[in-house]
């Protein structure tokens, strides 16, 4: 399990992958332990449904005992297939984002991007954007994480931000957009923005005024609107995150972008509970405790590479 969490925390590290392969091939016990870890993680519900078939079809490394040289190649092939499956499950989405992104940040790293029109974008940790600038308009896609936009005023070139089926249209303003869990959040600091929700059954388009925020559930298009203090908009820029009526799962995903360990909330009931609060990004472990303890939850550490949030 420690190997699993280390590989998930650093899916693109060739040295770690090489160390893992050496460990995996060192003994039959290692291969059996590895398969057990994969199956255990699957039973905990930590594998997205789209990948379940890949895991179920992974060759089993412990079906035939290794008693002679003739079994070496099949076993190595099985181990390689399992490792390849793990790579697809863990690194696949990250690699896809990297291929699309024009600007990307690592865990715990913020970055400032200046566009040619004078717009300034601040990227939070583990975030990525794709930009498209034309004479007719300016378009940014938030691929992952969170970004604060200080948009240069230009009525002739509207500025749009797309984030998981939610589109924000502006001419010149300052606002924050965040992707977390099944939610897209828009917080407005100044100006006016128009928000469009592709999957909304009601109120597909609406406006936000300064000091307002909206949380969109991307599964059903439901919109929750609230107010927010101006100094709390994009508070992550000063090492904090402010959330209002956000799910624990979504907040855990935000904290993940500033934590070196991988964070999981396998209990769907716990993940769906709503919280409001201000959390310190400089001490993400304390933030995790503050997040779940009001509901009787606990933070369980699996070495330095994993955190499990539970209610028991």
pLDDT for 182: 85
Give the chain's radius of gyration (CA, Å): 22
pTM value > 0.85: no
pLDDT for 59: 39
Residue 191 class from Cβ within 10 Å (0-12 exposed, 13-18 middle, 19+ buried)?
middle
Name the phi and psi angles at 245, rounded to 5: 55, 40
Residues 18 and 113 in one domain: no
Number of domain units in the chain: 3
Residues 120 and 162 in one domain: yes
Question: For residue 123, what is the domain's CATH number?
Answer: 2.60.120.1440
For the segment 289-300, what is each residue's pLDDT rounded down to a tens digit?
999 999 999 999
Determine contact, residues 180/217, Cβ cutoff 8 Å: no
Instruction: Say yes or no to pLDDT of 16 above 60.
Output: yes
Between the alpha carbon of residue 271 and those of residues 91, 130, 190, 235, 250, the distances in Å are 23, 29, 32, 23, 8
Going by the DSSP 8-state scheme, the letter that residue 70 receives in this structure is: G
Which of 75-79, 104-108, 168-172 is predicted with the least confidence, judged by mean pLDDT? Answer: 75-79
Residues 39 and 129 in one domain: no
Residue with tokens 């190595």: 76
For the segment 50-72, what is each residue's pLDDT rounded down to a tens digit?
333 333 433 333 333 333 444 44
Confidence of residue 151 (pLDDT cuts 50, 70, 90): very high
Displacement of CA 53 from its chain's centroid (Å): 22
Instruction: Say yes or no to pLDDT of 40 above 50.
Output: yes
- Give the list of residues 6+ apart from residue 113 with CB closer than 8 angstroms, or none: 103, 120, 121, 122, 123, 129
Residue with tokens 């181990």: 79
Considering 100, 120, 147, which residue would you say is the last residue of a domain? 100
Instruction: Say yes or no to pLDDT of 135 above 70.
Output: yes
Instruction: Say yes or no to pLDDT of 89 above 70.
Output: no
Helix (H) or strand (E) holding 22: helix 14-24
Determine contact, residues 240/146, Cβ cutoff 8 Å: no
- What would the DSSP string read from start to end of 43-73? HTT-S-GGGHHHHHTSPPTTSS---SGGGHH
pLDDT for 67: 38
Instruction: Specify which residues 114 forms β-bridges with.
Output: 120
Which of 5-14, 200-209, 226-235, 256-265 is predicted with the least confidence, judged by mean pLDDT? Answer: 5-14
Q: Is 128 helix (H, G, I), strand (E, B) or coil?
A: strand
pLDDT for 73: 47
Residues 107 and 95 in one domain: no
Considering 204, 230, 256, which residue would you say is the last residue of a domain? 230
Question: For residue 266, what is the domain's CATH number?
Answer: 3.55.50.30
- Give the list of residues 6+ apart from residue 22 with CB closer than 8 angstroms, or none: none
Domain range spanning residue 277? 239-312
For residues 75 and 191, the model is more confident at 191
For residues 23 and 10, the model is more confident at 23
Handedness of CA 13, 44, 303, 273 (dihedral sign): positive
Mean pLDDT of the chain: 81
Considering 31, 66, 100, which residue would you say is the last residue of a domain? 100
For residues 52 and 195, the model is more confident at 195
Which of 14-18, 54-58, 168-172, 189-193 is predicted with the least confidence, judged by mean pLDDT? Answer: 54-58
Residues 95 and 141 in one domain: no
Mean pLDDT of 253-270: 90
Residues 207 and 175 in one domain: yes
> Within a 10 A sphere around the Cβ of 109, how many other Cβ atoms?
14
Residues 215 and 107 in one domain: yes
For residues 254 and 302, the model is more confident at 254
- Give the list of residues 6+ apart from residue 131 with CB closer than 8 angstroms, or none: 102, 103, 115, 138, 139, 140, 141
């Amino acid at each position: 399990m420690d190997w699993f969490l280390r590989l998930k925390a650093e899916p693109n590290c060739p040295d770690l992958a090489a160390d893992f392969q050496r460990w995996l091939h060192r003994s039959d016990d290692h291969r059996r332990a590895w398969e057990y870890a994969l199956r255990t993680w699957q039973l905990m519900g930590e594998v997205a449904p789209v990948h379940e078939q890949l895991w179920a079809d992974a060759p089993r490394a412990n079906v035939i005992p290794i008693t002679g040289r003739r079994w070496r190649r099949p076993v190595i092939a099985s181990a390689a297939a399992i490792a390849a499956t793990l790579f697809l499950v863990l690194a696949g989405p990250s690699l896809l984002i990297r291929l699309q992104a024009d600007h990307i940040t690592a865990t715990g790293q913020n970055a400032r991007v200046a566009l040619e029109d004078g717009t300034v974008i601040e990227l939070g940790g583990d975030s990525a954007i794709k930009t498209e600038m034309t004479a007719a308009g300016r378009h940014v896609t938030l691929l992952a994480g969170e970004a604060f936009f200080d948009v240069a005023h230009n009525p002739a070139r509207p500025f749009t931000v797309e984030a998981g089926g939610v589109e924000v249209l502006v001419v010149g303003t300052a606002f924050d957009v965040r992707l977390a869990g099944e939610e897209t959040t828009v917080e407005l600091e100044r100006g006016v923005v128009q928000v469009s929700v592709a999957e909304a059954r009601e109120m597909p388009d609406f406006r936000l005024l300064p000091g307002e925020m909206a949380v969109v559930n991307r599964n059903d298009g439901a919109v929750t609107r609230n107010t927010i203090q101006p100094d709390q908009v994009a508070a992550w820029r000063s090492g904090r995150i402010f959330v209002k009526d956000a799910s624990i799962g979504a907040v855990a995903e935000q904290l993940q972008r500033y934590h070196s360990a991988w964070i999981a909330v396998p209990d769907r009931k716990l993940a769906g509970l709503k919280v409001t609060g201000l959390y310190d990004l400089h001490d993400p472990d304390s933030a995790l405790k503050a997040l779940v303890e009001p509901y009787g939850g606990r933070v369980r550490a699996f070495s330095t590479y994993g955190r499990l949030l539970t209610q028991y």
